[in-house]
Each structure stands twice: as structure tokens, then as C-alpha cells.
């Protein structure tokens, strides 16, 4: 895992595949409309990048029992890392140490890389997927 910026690191698809079912992990999908037609990683939460800043406090509430958040967009080159950084800044600015979030990560190669590697993709239309992927 290489460091991207302070407190944010990258995780590979195979690393995520092996830990994604652990109860302390939350996968945050920040793609916009494409989630609805491309599918998503099972169990991921959807916080679209275009409204991410307005919804950041909701995200912190929803992941209060998690200590590791993994962000991704389609390729994890712009939206995923940007939203991860916004969350890190939010936690720092508001001294949200009580949030319990210890690790903020970005999925290398994003959803497209995940799917291209043959990893499981869920195609439900729930905003907050409960599935494990199919």
C-alpha cells in the first residue's frame, strides 16, 4: 500500500476482497449515476461525489461502528481520492476523533478495475446495498 497523502492510503482489489466482509470495514462508492447501471461492490454505501460535501455528516453517522473506510469511483483517480481527502479534512477540521475512523483508503483502479478482475459485482438498486455481491 503506498501513501497518497497524510492519513490516506491505497488498497488493491485483492486486499479489499480478502477483508471486505469484516465488520469494521465500510466501502464508500462515490460514483454518480453510473452506479445505477454499472452495478457496485456488494455491501457498499453510495455517497455520490457531486453531493458528497453536503452529505459528509450523514456518512460519518452511518459508519460510526467502522474504523476503516475504502473509497472508490470508476477508476479511483479523481472522485474517489478527492472524497477521501474531503472526509479526512472534515474529521480534522471538526476534531471528530470520536468518529472512530482510523483508516481512510482508496481502492486502486476503482470499480472498473474491480469488475475487470472478475471480482463479485452486485446489481441491486438499493441505495445502501446489503448484499454480498453476486
Give the count of beta carbons closer than 10 Å to the beta carbon of residue 88. 17
Residues 82 and 49: beta-carbon distance below 8 Å: yes
Give the count of beta carbons closer than 10 Å to the beta carbon of residue 81. 20
> What amino acid positions are annotated as catalytic residues?
73
Dist. CA 10–CA 3, nearest whole Å: 7
Dist. CA 74–CA 61, nearest whole Å: 25
Alpha helices in the chain (DSSP H): 13-19, 34-38, 52-62, 79-93, 110-116
DSSP of 75-99, one letter per residue?
SSSSHHHHHHHHHHHHHHHTT-GGG
Amino acid at each position: 500500500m503506498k501513501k497518497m497523502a497524510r492519513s490516506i492510503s491505497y488498497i488493491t482489489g485483492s486486499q479489499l476482497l480478502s477483508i471486505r466482509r469484516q465488520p469494521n470495514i465500510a466501502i464508500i462508492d462515490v460514483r454518480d449515476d453510473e452506479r445505477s447501471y454499472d452495478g457496485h461492490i456488494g455491501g457498499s454505501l453510495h455517497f455520490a461525489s457531486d453531493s458528497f460535501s453536503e452529505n459528509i455528516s450523514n456518512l460519518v453517522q452511518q459508519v460510526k461502528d467502522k474504523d476503516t473506510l475504502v473509497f472508490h469511483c470508476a477508476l479511483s483517480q479523481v472522485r474517489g481520492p478527492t472524497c477521501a481527502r474531503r472526509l479526512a479534512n472534515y474529521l480534522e477540521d471538526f476534531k471528530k476523533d470520536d468518529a472512530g475512523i482510523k483508516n481512510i483508503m482508496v481502492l486502486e483502479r476503482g470499480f472498473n478495475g474491480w469488475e475487470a478482475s472478475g471480482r463479485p459485482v452486485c446489481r441491486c438498486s438499493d441505495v445502501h446495498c446489503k448484499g454480498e455481491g453476486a
